[in-house]
Structure 1
Amino acid sequence: MLTDPATDATEVFEAHRPLLHGVAYRMLGRVADAEDVVQDAWLRWSDVDRAEVREPRAYLVRITTRLAIDRLRQVTSRRESYVGPWLPEPLATDVLVSGGTAPDTAERTVFADTVTLAVLVVMESLSPLERAVFVLREAFGYPYAEIAGVLERSEAAVRQLAGRARRHVADGTPRFEVDPDRQRELTERFLAAATGDDLDGLLSLLAADARLVGDSGGKAKAPLRIIESPDKVARFLLGVAGGLPPGPELAFRELNGGLALLIAYGGIVDTVLQLGIQDGRIQTIYIIRNPDKLASLTA
């Protein structure tokens, strides 16, 4: 029985789709951009003479990475004109897959660590090539020689890019606690204090260097600058909580490798709140309110 080449091509591509989306999202920080890149990769794959492709996985990762680099260069001006702080679009990571298979605990930890909000924010300051090397090496464990082939650079150059990227990310990324039970407990206490007008309760939960990062893109109410110091953060939150509409729908979900609180009205996600916890205190509060970045969670 003959195999339909079109069907075979689709099956091969779909088997690698989670991997390709993972590469593109980490590089771009936006679900829609990642999906566009993966779709472009599919168009390239559907047109190529697959008899000439010895390793489909390597070929697909190569074209996806190059397409993501091109897209990254295109969106640079869009990021520079963004209103207020920029945060990545939240990604549901309830079930993480690596290359189409469920990872074990150790692999899952590494996989999730490369998709956290904190890491993706720091990666914004990397060059497109540094970002590509970091993603392929740290998230997916690609050998330097293989990355060199993907980027058409020497292995020595790739090693230099990897070293710079790794140091930069390590220096700029806090090591947050990721115990989901602890995150949920502190989030619930945080929410109770904020909505209960409990200034002392909020201050007791915040670290000495607490800060709040809000992303609205100018399309919803959120601070246009990062708020720093426990007192300023707490007073801002109390002011916001006092003006919330009644009847919010609350749900916990794993986003970007950590527990997050989704606040919705009428089934439409209005806000994503995620806490960065260090030494039992809340160090960073991420609030995402840009409706363009929440549409995929509502869907």
Structure 2
Amino acid sequence: MDGPGISSNPISPRAGLVWHAIGFLSVAAFAAVMAVMFWPRGQAPLLSLDDRGAAAMFVNDEEWQGLYFGDRRIGFGMTRTRVEEGRLHVEQRLHLRLRLAGRDQRLDSRLALVLQPDAALHDLSVEAEVAGMGLSVRGRLEGGRLVANVAVGSQELRVAYPVPARLFLEPLLLRRLAREDLSAGRRFRAQVFDARSLAPQEIEIEVVALEALPASSGLRPAVHLRRRQSGVALDTWIDGDGRVLREESSLGLRSQREERSRAEAEPDLAPDLDGEELKGLFPSLWGTP
């Protein structure tokens, strides 16, 4: 018998395993976190959008991040934003080159979504290819639920999941946070929508200090933020507009803002990783596309 929101199609055992892994693949495609919704807890202030909505925080822009594991380049991420008719369009790409069980593997993904002026989800699409296996998700908001068609290889599923009334993508979160008083020691709590478990996850963001990062023209001021997510410590440096300049995880993953030509340079051969190490790396991609 079919579960709620899933139509009947014969699924092979292999495809079933692949479907079970879709949440994990989506984390890689979404850079670990799909959306964020703030709520007050203790002394942490409530962050919310004003009447101008999500699109008011953005101009047409494109950001590139080089991804590194230790000193080795393993790929890049890109975030492109544009505003049309009051709606915020976000496109994110992720390219990784990893070595798993002695074999060189590549992961390519693209996420595109549209938010209404009040930050409600309008529609989304995801395309990913991992080790030659394709995944695609296309859906839109219907009756407070994300209704999507999911294709894994030749298998297709139709799913429906409840989503928050307002979605805060990671770039939107940081843009909103940049409007606050980011004095050292301040903390902000957030309820994160985890794409793997489809359930809220609590995080706390701490303002560490105002620092300076090296730049081509000298030193560049940056706000140093720190948080823990899925057991991983993440340090993020943002500029005055909330754009990520650099991010480091306790697992050795690092991202930094770069020119497109440098970010797209062919990755180095990464260290050999096992499945558990790979799963541990993906939460570190919170600050990358």
Greater relative contact order (Cα 8 A, min sep 6): structure 1 or 2? 2
* TM-score band, normalised by shorter chain: under 0.3
| Larger Rg over CA atoms | 1
Q: Which has the higher helix share?
A: 1
Q: Which has the higher strand share?
A: 2
User: How high is the TM-score relative to the length of structure 2?
Assistant: 0.25
